[in-house]
Amino acid sequence: MSRRALATHLFTLLFLAAWSLAAWVSPAYQMPGPWAVLQGAWKFLTTPELLLQLGASLYHVAAAIVLSFILGCVLALIPYYFPVARIAIHRRFGAFLGSFPGVGWALLAGMWFGINSISVIFAISAVLLPFALVNLNSGLNNLDAELMEMGQSFTRHTARKLRLVILPLLYPYLFATLRLMFGVAWKVTLAAELFGGNSGLGYLINLARQDYDTVTIFVIIFFIIVFVYCAERFFFKPIQARFDAYAKI
């Protein structure tokens, strides 16, 4: 076993020991222990009604990522083809979205659309949109000038050049945008569902908070950490490795 792996396992054991000690000296409603959380996780996985709430959160995250990604692409391309709109989109609209608090979007969405999935998806999308806009604008500003000139010599058709030249050059930026949005979306989803949702993991946290059910809160946090880690480790990292290998060619 390598020293790095040994240090990782040792840190995990120390964390579990500290967690168990904190649970032992604290009331059960404040700090449940690891065993109680594992039991709660098993109950969660064997309860169809709770799994439906997990599915609702997955739907909210996926829908918001798709919506904000498409809007971000469109908004990034507008000033690229029409430079007169650059200040309006990047320095005004983008700055406004980037500085607006996520909780504010969640509260406003609940007032505008009611307590439903539309409110949740809107709030998450509003938070994710500036990330897509900034990343894709960075990609457009760093397009290979020689390849763009070569593409211009082969065709002057705007749509064809976008499909065959610009989009392939943007693949690393598009992937990085999706990767970033996936991580941020889960941080926003719980707050959006807590304030404006009638389904999802955030909605369950709201119910658990009212009942002082700390175990359920810990279980939900545990599932999110595991899911995001697995997605990063087994999906995003392998794809990123391929992009890195391609960039070295």
Q: How confident is the model at residue 151 (pLDDT cuts 50, 70, 90)?
A: low
Q: Where are the domains of the chain?
A: 52-212
* pLDDT averaged over every residue in the chain: 86
Q: What is the pLDDT of residue 246?
A: 64
52-212 CATH pick, 1.10.150.120, 3.40.720.10, 1.10.3720.10, 3.40.50.80: 1.10.3720.10
Cβ atoms of residues 115 and 197 within 8 Å: yes
Record the pTM: 0.86
- Supply 115's token pair: 């307590």
For 209-221, what is each residue's pLDDT tens digit? 888 889 999 999 9
Three-class HEC string of the chain: CCHHHHHHHHHHHHHHHHHHHHHHHCCCCCCCCHHHHHHHHHHHHCCHHHHHHHHHHHHHHHHHHHHHHHHHHHHHHHHHHCHHHHHHHHHHHHHHHHHCCHHHHHHHHHHHHCCCHHHHHHHHHHHHHHHHHHHHHHHHHCCCHHHHHHHHHHCCCHHHHHHHHHHHHHHHHHHHHHHHHHHHHHHHHHHHHHHHCCCCHHHHHHHHHHCCCHHHHHHHHHHHHHHHHHHHHHHHHHHHHHHHHHHHC
- Predicted confidence (pLDDT) per residue in 31-62, tens digit: 888 888 899 999 999 989 889 999 999 999 99
